[in-house]
Amino acid sequence: MPVAVVSGLSVRTMRAMSEAAGDFHIETGRVVEAYKGRAIVELDSASRPGSKPECGRCRLCAASGAGAPPELRATVAGGLTVTPGDRVEIRLRLASPGRAGLLLLGLPLAAFIGALFLASWLWKSEPAMMACGFGALGAAFLVLYLVDRRRGARAEVVRKL
């Protein structure tokens, strides 16, 4: 079977590098939908919580609900074509739930409180404080959204099985 090349590195090389770094793990699944370089993949039933050492960090299967097989949206590696029903191997970038929770809750809260204190020091007006606080809160969530789009948990179809 030919090895797909992504970004100048073979999939085998990328898999070895990512597994050594501990940031990724490999899962298998079935393509449910495929369109324009993306696919919705349903993970195999063997991919259940606790089936691999990385499962303690990922918690993807637990988030999908009891008994429901996890489905996720994945990008398709260049040069690979998938159709619904294909069995594929996907590479998941692991995210730390603790760090994600801290960023999702802590950063907006800190921005809101910081803006309240800054506005109270500058203007000493409650409407100005609230406007600045909620503006900072919205800006913090916008920053988190943009960061997630660029660096969030990712899945990529790396080969057909």
The answer on 79 and 36 residing in a single domain is yes
Question: How many domains in the chain?
Answer: 2
Question: 129 pLDDT exceeds 90?
Answer: yes
The answer on 115 and 49 residing in a single domain is no
The answer on 132 and 80 residing in a single domain is no
Question: 12 pLDDT exceeds 60?
Answer: no
Number of Cβ within a 10 Å radius of residue 100: 14
**Rounded Cα gap, residues 155 and 113, in angstroms:** 35
**Residue-level pLDDT at 55:** 62
The answer on 90 and 12 residing in a single domain is yes
- Average pLDDT over every residue of 45-50: 55
The answer on 140 and 104 residing in a single domain is yes
Q: Note whether 76 and 34 are within 8 A (CB).
A: yes
Of 55, 49, 30, 48, nearest to 40 by C-alpha is: 30
Q: Note whether 15 and 25 are within 8 A (CB).
A: no
The answer on 138 and 74 residing in a single domain is no
The answer on 86 and 40 residing in a single domain is yes
Q: What is the 3-state secondary structure (H, E, C) of 68-89?
A: CCCEEEEEECCCCCCCCCCEEE
The answer on 14 and 80 residing in a single domain is yes
The answer on 17 and 68 residing in a single domain is yes
- Average pLDDT over every residue of 110-136: 93
The answer on 18 and 65 residing in a single domain is yes
The answer on 79 and 30 residing in a single domain is yes
| pTM over 0.85, yes/no | no
Domain that holds residue 41: 5-95+152-160
Please provide the average confidence, as pLDDT, over all residues in the chain.
76
**Residue-level pLDDT at 1:** 34
**Residue-level pLDDT at 118:** 94
The answer on 122 and 109 residing in a single domain is yes
**What's 28's domain CATH number?**
2.40.50.140
**Residue-level pLDDT at 156:** 84
